[in-house]
Amino acid sequence: MSAVTLSNIEKKFGNFTAVHPMSLEIPEGEFVTLLGPSGCGKTTTLRMVAGLLDPTKGEISIKGRRVNDLPIHKRNLGIVFQNYALFPHKSIAENVGFGLRYRNVSKDDAARRVKDALELVQLPHVADRYPSALSGGQQQRIALARAIVIEPDVLLLDEPLSALDANLREDMRVELKRIQHRIGVTSIFVTHDQAEALAMSDQIVVMSDGRVEQVGPPEEVYNAPASEFVANFLGASNILSGQCTARENGTVAIDAPLFGTVPVPAEKAPNIPGPGAAKLVLRAEKLQLVAKNAPSDGLISTEAVVETVDYQGQAVRYFVRVGDTQLQAINMIDTRPFAEGDTVRVQFRPRDCAALPGA
Amino acid sequence: MGWPLIRLWAILVYLFMFLPIAVVVLLSVNASQFGAFPMTGLSLRWFEALFNNDAILRALRTSLILGSLTAVVSTTLGVLASLALVRYNIPFRNAISTLLIAPILVPEVVLAVALLLFLQFLGIHKSFTLLLFGHVIFTLPFVILVVQARLVGIRRDVEEAAMSLGASPMQTFFTITLPLLTPAVAAGGLFAFTISFDDITGTLFWKPGGVETVPTQIFAMLRNSISPEINALGTLMIVITAGLPLLGLAISRRLALRRERAGQSE
């Protein structure tokens, strides 16, 4: 039985459709991420699961029980908000123990559970302080402790890392995943950050303009994007319009400009049934710059001129020009990066490409 | 030229504002028969006379009861109205908000006469309840303005967090929203009390026969003579209307300080 089931839920605000009918099954214990740019409907979807918004149509079930008409305080959910939302007039212990007041938990039991939760988030010594005395990262850990101490059926995380600064965000990401894994709670995580989504999720639901673009595990969404939107939202991609000429023997032959015929593995072109218009998706990390006279090693390659060099420390992002087309490449730095104006070869392996239907 | 003159000017302005009050306080402890200078000696006899004057004591009691009830009714209605206006998407929100604030903008005399005529039209006689009703009308805007400002600053997600943890909307209001609103509710209540306690215009129109508040009592006494008792009563009113907000401020400072200390302790 799945922990959360969304069946054709839709949300309209007046004439505006924030979420087009979508369905989703979330198995028990999974960490599912709703990923997309702001305004894509991910937070609206989360708020419908939470009971903070009523779906216009469709059904929401939690642990097999229809919850459409169940108010938020009876849904047994833990929610972690972007801005922590701790109660400023209550001590940390009172904050964490708040949900236990509305459950049949004895005083001793509650105190023990609060203590355990604080230990789980590695802040056992702050119980008597008030939220204003804690840093942002600490406050978010307390918010997490408060949400999980009630042993919720589902943990909802609404951009919980966005308010933290960059270094802290990566630490918290690891920490959050560790805690979720340890207690095994089914989690729905909302973010616009592709790195967070890729690092933490069992399944990623990519959304855009209120529609689900693709659902799948991180590697699948990353390596075999189902649409141009997904290809561009998760990392940088070069998309070349071409023609599919054949689909046979586990490969799909794409006739692309600049590179001639590229045999793409069939599993990375699931939506191309046979010959017709197609697009070649070439990830920026998979496009390698080498010296002009280097041997091609059986890779597909062509000559290019470096236009822009965007130095990033351990990696460098190049914009190169091949004829009228600009391509993007992200390469690890081996010795020293190429300079602007250098003539180089750009090369890639066909199996690193994906293909999408359409012109 | 320049700063010394401006400084002198500022001092003169303050003297002009506060000297009359100082005179009242000073003369209230004057031993002389007449409420005027020169002072003939220090004495609390006028305060004594005040507390033996039944009419004044009755008026003081009426004012305190009226002020307290006004504060309670105004803050209750004010909090409910603010919640509706800030938290719920009610139709005609702006119109309702303007209507509720309007009594501040309408001259009090106009409001007083209008309410009186309206009651006459309805055939309702003046009573203490109606006097209270009148005071609530023109103290309500102050409460709403203060409470609304505070409520806007209380993040919605704090209430949502409480509900997600199992608190019903009612429990959320009493455990989260109201405690966070307390400073504004207290300030609004103090406003309502002092405004009601000080009011004379509306009260003169609305009070039923035989009922006097402190301001109307002073007004009545002044018609006969300027008794030194009035100075004593004036001093008492100053202490109440200036002292209460100061006391409130001191208490809220204390509470804030204590929380801060608790926050810093290990």
Confidence band for A276, pLDDT divided at 50, 70 and 90: confident
The mean pLDDT value for A7-12 works out to 94
Q: Which of B160, B163, B165, B173 to substitute to test the interface with A, most A CBs within 10 Å?
A: B165
Q: Which of B157, B163, B176 lies nearest to residue A83, judging by beta carbons?
A: B157
- The pLDDT assigned to A28 comes to 93
pTM of the predicted model, to two decimals?
A: 0.81
CB atoms A89 and B179 under 8 Å:
yes
- The pLDDT assigned to A330 comes to 92
Q: Examine the domain organization and report whether B158 and B33 are in the same domain.
A: no
Task: Tally the C-alpha atoms within 13 A of residue A176's C-alpha that lie toward its C-beta.
Answer: 31
CB atoms A89 and B162 under 8 Å:
no
Which residues of B touch chain A, with CB atoms under 8 Å apart? Answer: 155, 157-158, 160-169, 171-172, 176, 179-180, 259-260, 262-266
- The pLDDT assigned to A92 comes to 94
Q: Examine the domain organization and report whether B65 and B25 are in the same domain.
A: no
Range list for CATH 3.40.50.300 in chain A: 2-223
How far apart, in whole angstroms, are the C-alpha atoms of residue A278 and residue A100? 56
The neighbour count for residue B262, using CB atoms within 10 Å, is 13
Residue numbers in B near A147 (CB within 8 A)? 164-165
pLDDT digits (tens, 9 = 90+) for A128-156: 999 999 998 899 999 999 999 999 999 99
**CA distance to partner chain A, nearest, from residue B154 (Å):** 10
How far apart, in whole angstroms, are the C-alpha atoms of residue A300 and residue A309? 23
Does A88 have pLDDT greater than 70? yes
Q: Examine the domain organization and report whether B110 and B214 are in the same domain.
A: yes
How far apart, in whole angstroms, are the C-alpha atoms of residue A256 and residue A270? 18
Q: Examine the domain organization and report whether B37 and B129 are in the same domain.
A: no
Question: Which range is most confident: A42-51, A327-336, B190-199?
Answer: A42-51
Q: Examine the domain organization and report whether B146 and B234 are in the same domain.
A: yes
Q: Examine the domain organization and report whether B3 and B65 are in the same domain.
A: no
What class, spelled out in words, does domain A2-223 have in CATH? alpha beta
Does A113 have pLDDT greater than 50? yes
> Structural domain of residue B15, as residue ranges?
1-43
Q: Which of A72, A91, A146 lies nearest to residue B163, judging by beta carbons?
A: A72
Q: Examine the domain organization and report whether B145 and B107 are in the same domain.
A: yes
CB atoms B180 and A89 under 8 Å:
yes
CB atoms B164 and A77 under 8 Å:
yes
Is B48 part of a structural domain of the chain?
Answer: no
Range list for CATH 2.40.50.100 in chain A: 236-357
Give pLDDT < 70 ranges for chain B: 1, 34-36, 259-266
- The pLDDT assigned to A267 comes to 85
Q: Examine the domain organization and report whether B152 and B259 are in the same domain.
A: yes
Q: Which of A79, A92, A139 to substitute to test the interface with B, most B CBs within 10 Å?
A: A79
For A149, which residue in chain B has the nearest alpha carbon?
A: B165
- The pLDDT assigned to B265 comes to 45
| Nearest CA among B228, B224, B182, B171 for reference residue B40 | B228
For B181, which residue in chain A has the nearest alpha carbon?
A: A89
Is B161 part of a structural domain of the chain?
Answer: yes
Residue numbers in A near B262 (CB within 8 A)? 91, 128-130
CA A272-A277-A282 angle, to 5 degrees, is: 75
Architecture of the structural domain at A236-357: Beta Barrel (2.40)
- The pLDDT assigned to B34 comes to 67
**CA distance to partner chain A, nearest, from residue B71 (Å):** 25
- The pLDDT assigned to B266 comes to 38
Is B211 part of a structural domain of the chain?
Answer: yes
Q: Examine the domain organization and report whether B118 and B237 are in the same domain.
A: yes
For A80, which residue in chain B has the nearest alpha carbon?
A: B161
- The pLDDT assigned to A168 comes to 86
CB atoms B266 and A125 under 8 Å:
yes
The pLDDT mean for chain B works out to: 86
Residue numbers in A near B266 (CB within 8 A)? 125
Q: Examine the domain organization and report whether B154 and B31 are in the same domain.
A: no
**CA distance to partner chain B, nearest, from residue A101 (Å):** 8
Residue numbers in A near B160 (CB within 8 A)? 50, 52, 72, 79, 81, 85
Tally of domains in chain B: 2
Lowest mean pLDDT among A77-86, A225-234, B29-38, B145-154: B29-38
Q: Which of A75, A85, A103 lies nearest to residue B161, judging by beta carbons?
A: A85
Give the CATH number, domain containing residue B83.
1.10.3720.10
The mean pLDDT value for A333-341 works out to 84
